Amino acid sequence: MTAARNVMPGRFSGLSIKLIVTIIAVILTVEVVVYLPSVASFRANWLNDRMRVGMVAARVLDAVPDVPALPRSLTDRLLTSAGANAIVYRREGQSQLIELAEPITPDRVVTADIRESNPVALIVGALDTLFAGPGRTLRIVGEGDVDESLLEVLMPERPLRQDLLDYSRDIVLVSFIIAALTAVALYLMVSRLFIYPVRRLTANMLAFRQAPENASLILTPSGRHDDLGLAVAKINHDLRNTLTSAQLLSDQVATLDDPKVQRLAPRLVTTLDKAIGFAQSVLDYGRESAALPVLAPVALHGLVEDAAFDARLVGHPTISFRNEAPEGLRLRADQAQFSRVLVNLLKNAREALEAAGAKVEAPQVNVLTEEREDGFVVAVSDNGPGLPPRARDNLFVAFEGSARAGGTGLGLAIAREIVEAHGGRLALAEQARGTRFEITLPTSLLKM
């Protein structure tokens, strides 16, 4: 059964056959729409040709009014050239008739008035001729070559029906040739652009399933147009934040006495470890192996404190910071990843308040928690000027959603991806003043 599942479908099976059949069906449908007016036009031209031949006989009748005086050989040639059984010429209330020596009495007569120019009527007449049975007599009616004259030609319908069948056969043959050539051309193009790459990828996946240790089965991409550049830019963004904190700490260490050095040294080591971790993440992204969050119990209050320190809010000279997360509350989360979310949100809040300067009285940043019906909420809010319209319109869009000059907008994009990886969501909440971001997590992640 496993071997049967690993068999690749044939080139002309499945999607390929459906594609070819669909193309042929569409082309033939278009040909039918074109065929109907075309066959109606063919029938109208055929009737006009017979009427013109009948008009020649009418002119002979007009030149020699005494029809019975015409030689029988002449009348037979006139009828034979027109392919008619009889010709009737009506003018000024008089009728003149040319008929065969042995008149034929038709069983069924159908009238074709060439004065009728309605396209629908012409199409109906052509279809009626095609699908009618043999043995009918056609009565062609048209105007003569002088005013108020009328010409009628009575002839078998069989020649017209045969010519229509031959014409239809040629149209059908040409239509199938056009449909086949078009289908093959489109199939080759679609196969080259889409089907062949998918088949190659599928075959490689099946081969990898049989021998995952074979390194030669790894496909080498060509002409990358994916999100690798965006991924590297995201990591570089976080790496820059971490190294900035490390630089700040190193500057402080250089000016402190030994006791303070001993107190700040562990933080310096931790910050540098984060920088090394982010550098390793660059390699992971380059190998397209994004790390899933490793959930473990973590104290939320302490995590917020560490994030506030990395975001340079702890000890800030003008901005007050309040951590209202309960000290006994623990979350099941990836500590390193969730810390990145909090650092980005707190850093954005600090930068917004610093940019506002004296415009904001008593600037402050708060982190609080709340339990709701839809989940557990961790909110980061500030009382700054709020987000500008451009940032709101491009929220969570990398390189577009920055609220400050020179920013990349990557912080929120990174934060949202991490929160969603934890099964939650990150959203901007409305409030009277400032900015408030809410992280909504499943209550199953709570660990009291």
> What pLDDT sits at residue 270?
65
Which of 114, 143, 178 represents a domain boundary (last residue)? 178
Is 232 among the domain residues? no
Which of 125, 146, 178 represents a domain boundary (last residue)? 178
Share of the chain above pLDDT 90, in %: 16
One domain, residues 305 and 173: no
Number of domains in the chain: 2
Is 316 among the domain residues? yes
What CA–CA distances, in Å, run from 196 to 84, 117, 203, 223, 431?
A: 62, 53, 10, 17, 54
Is 410 among the domain residues? yes
| Highest mean pLDDT out of 1-15, 53-67, 265-279, 428-442 | 428-442
pLDDT surpasses 70 at 428: yes
Q: pLDDT tens for residues 26-49?
A: 877 887 888 888 888 998 899 888
Q: pLDDT tens for residues 315-371?
A: 899 999 999 999 889 999 999 889 989 998 999 899 889 988 888 889 999 999 999
One domain, residues 146 and 24: yes
CA dihedral for 368, 373, 376, 380, sign (positive or negative):
negative
One domain, residues 310 and 163: no
Is 260 among the domain residues? no
Tell me the average pLDDT of the chain.
77
Q: pLDDT tens for residues 224-253?
A: 455 555 555 566 566 666 666 665 666 566
3 state SS for the chain: CHHHHCCCCCCCCCHHHHHHHHHHHHHHHHHHHHHHHHHHHHHHHHHHHHHHHHHHHHHHHHHCCCHHHCCHHHHHHHHHHHCCCEEEEEECCEEEEEECCCCCCCCEEEEEECCCCCHHHHHHHHHHHHHCCCCEEEEEEEECCCCCEEEEEEEECHHHHHHHHHHHHHHHHHHHHHHHHHHHHHHHHHHHHHHHHHHHHHHHHHHHHHCCCCHHHCCCCCCCCCCHHHHHHHHHHHHHHHHHHHHHHHHHHHHCCHHHHHHHHHHHHHHHHHHHHHHHHHHHHHCCCCCCCCCEEEEHHHHHHHHHHHCCCCCCCCCEEEECCCCCCEEEECHHHHHHHHHHHHHHHHHHHHHHHHHCCCCEEEEEEEEECCEEEEEEEECCCCCCHHHHHCCCCCCCCCCCCCCCCHHHHHHHHHHHHCCCEEEEECCCCCEEEEEEECHHHEEC
Q: pLDDT tens for residues 363-404?
A: 999 999 999 888 999 999 999 888 888 777 778 776 555 555
Average pLDDT rounded to a whole number, residues 55-78: 63
> What pLDDT sits at residue 367?
95
One domain, residues 158 and 297: no
Q: pLDDT tens for residues 141-182?
A: 888 766 777 888 888 888 888 889 998 888 888 888 887 888
Domain span at residue 63 reads 10-178
Look at 190-199, 208-217, 284-293 and tell me which has the smallest mean pLDDT: 284-293
Which of 154, 178, 202 represents a domain boundary (last residue)? 178
Is 174 among the domain residues? yes
> What pLDDT sits at residue 115?
84
Is 243 among the domain residues? no
One domain, residues 173 and 299: no
What CA–CA distances, in Å, run from 353 to 39, 318, 347, 396?
A: 79, 9, 10, 20
With cut-offs at 50, 70 and 90, classify the pLDDT of residue 282: very low
Q: What is the CATH number of the domain that holds 395?
A: 3.30.565.10
One domain, residues 27 and 156: yes
One domain, residues 162 and 35: yes
> What pLDDT sits at residue 245?
65
Would you say 121 and 139 are in contact if contact means Cβ atoms under 8 Å apart? no
Cα–Cα nearest to 424, from 297, 332, 307: 332
Burial class (CB in 10 A: 0-12, 13-18, 19+), 396: middle
Is 438 among the domain residues? yes
pLDDT surpasses 90 at 14: no
| Highest mean pLDDT out of 85-99, 224-238, 381-395, 419-433 | 419-433
One domain, residues 165 and 298: no
